[in-house]
Amino acid sequence: MDSKACPDFGPNCHLSSIRSIIKAEKSNNHGTEKYALGHDELRPLSNLSKDPFGGWGATLVDSLSTLLVMDLEKEVESVLPELEKIDFELDKNVSVFESIIRYLGGFLSAYELSDKQNKILLVKAEQLANALLPAFETPSGLPHSFWNTMQRSSPSNYTLFAEVGTLQLEFMVLSKHTGKPIYKEKAQAITDLLDRMAYEHGLEIPGLYPTGMDVQKGRFRDSVCTFGGAGDSTFEYFLKEYLLVDGTVPQYAQMYIESIDSMKRHMLRQVMDSDLLFLPAYNTRLGKLHNNNMEHLTCFVPGMLAMGAKTFDRPDDLIAAKGLLETCVYMYRTSGTGLCPESWSMIETVPYNPITYNRPLDELSKAREWWYSPNDMTPPKRKEENVRDTYDTNYKLPVAPQRLSTIKPFNRNYLLRPETVESVYILYRITGDPKYQEYGWEIFQAIEKNCKTSSAYAAIHNVEKTFSDSPASNQMDSMESFLLAETFKYLYLLFSPPDVISLDEYVFNTEAHPFERISRD
């Protein structure tokens, strides 16, 4: 799956870039250890801490795999005693979803990346999974969204599509290493339930799963489908489950392809006379867009589509992947800070059509003239521009364009999210096009310029404003653990040789924790 476009990792592969990213990761890690050890997150302005994920050390655990990918083993060894202290019996409601993707995924990935030498990582993974298993004891088998591990209770029977379908990788890997099938059986039961969903369960369009679910009844509670928050990662896991088990379970492929085909048919939009694509939420009951907004969270989709295109030989999916990624990068490159808003609106879009997508209007007009004029069955030639069989490693990005008036930021926060650099990394690995490295480097420089604090990195209030003299005035006292777990990891891998965490050998969970593929043997 990986491209060999830059096999020698020479000067054109940004050797200095990788050093800068390692420095940023180490700086963040040291700041967290100094001011927030034993807590979930560091507040990067006040140097205080907060505990939104149970107080089990989310940033510490989430960063383990990144440190190991960067060959910073000593950094990991130094925190192992702190990890041993974690007690998962807690009289507090914790997110089952977040606990699985951040903690369980973090422990298991670090266990594999440390050559399975640090047994405490597997021990803690199993302890956490066992503390959460009672949350799955519902009539449907769907887990509760929040769970009190001490009281063994939940405040609600409401959960989200993304939450029930984003635990399969972690549970399958845990069963692999413990030899206990209960975890993968719980995960497979959920996948089977989703696979059986039909109109009577609230599924209006095959493959377009709404977000809200009832864990008691095992059915959907609304009709809005989104590849953004509340829906996103389950679609991703359909593909990644197939990859994790080396293509041995056709069910996962069928569910993925059905969802992608329906998404392209009903949800995907294009901006005429441009290379921009748009993926808003969709009301499956009403058969129309739910709104005109696209979230940064949706920017994982290009990477997913590119991997699916490569896996299942679906070239049109790669075209769609490139178009969606251009939109995500466009929102970075056209903002005042060089950073992307949390969400944005786009008007004057039309349904995606692979024939008319990214074709100049004058060319389409000529095609229309051809259609209505006497002619044989030879279609008009499509003018292919900017197509290269080999890529120039000295490629430089053109100057960022002026933003179209039909595209406007909706939520102007920048929360240090990883989805765009995730897709940039995957598209670079698959195509070898150096423009993706340039995109990634621009984003990293914008993070350094606008988000750096004395101890770590901070989220941004308004990506449209620049405070060159005092960037701190635009900073928020917030840094989620995914900056260390995902954003910096994907940037590091973007400039690494293709055999470093090869996409042919590893599958990333939704928190960027790489798992070894389970071979057919």
Maximum CA extent, the chain:
79
Q: Cα–Cα distance between 71 and 68 in angstroms, integer?
A: 5
Q: How far apart are CA 68 and CA 195, in angstroms?
A: 36
Strands (DSSP E) found in 106-174:
146-148, 158-160
- 251: CB partners within 8 A, 6+ apart: 191, 195
Rounded to 10 degrees, the C-alpha dihedral 5/17/516/256 comes to -70
Residue 40 falls in the annotated catalytic set: no
Q: Give the C-alpha separation, 284 to 266, whole Å.
A: 9
| Strand residue runs (E) in 387-427 | 407-411
Query: Strand (E) positions, 187-281?
Result: 212-214, 219-220, 224-225, 269-270, 277-278
Q: Please pick, among 241, 342, 422, 486, the residue that the annotation labels catalytic.
A: 342
CB of 127 within 8 A of CB of 114?
Answer: no
2 is catalytic: no
Does 422 participate in catalysis according to the annotation? no
Q: Annotated catalytic residue: which of 2, 419, 422, 433?
A: 419
Annotated catalytic residue, options 41, 232, 241, 486: 232
Radius of gyration of the chain (CA): 23
Among this protein's residues, is 419 annotated catalytic? yes
Catalytic residue among 98, 422, 486, 511: 98
Cβ–Cβ under 8 Å, residues 145 and 96:
yes
The angle formed by the CA atoms of residues 24, 25 and 29, to the nearest 5 degrees, is 120
Cα(242)–Cα(145) distance, integer angstroms: 25
What residues contact residue 22 under an 8 Å CB cut-off, 6+ apart?
70, 72, 492
Catalytic residues: 98, 232, 342, 419
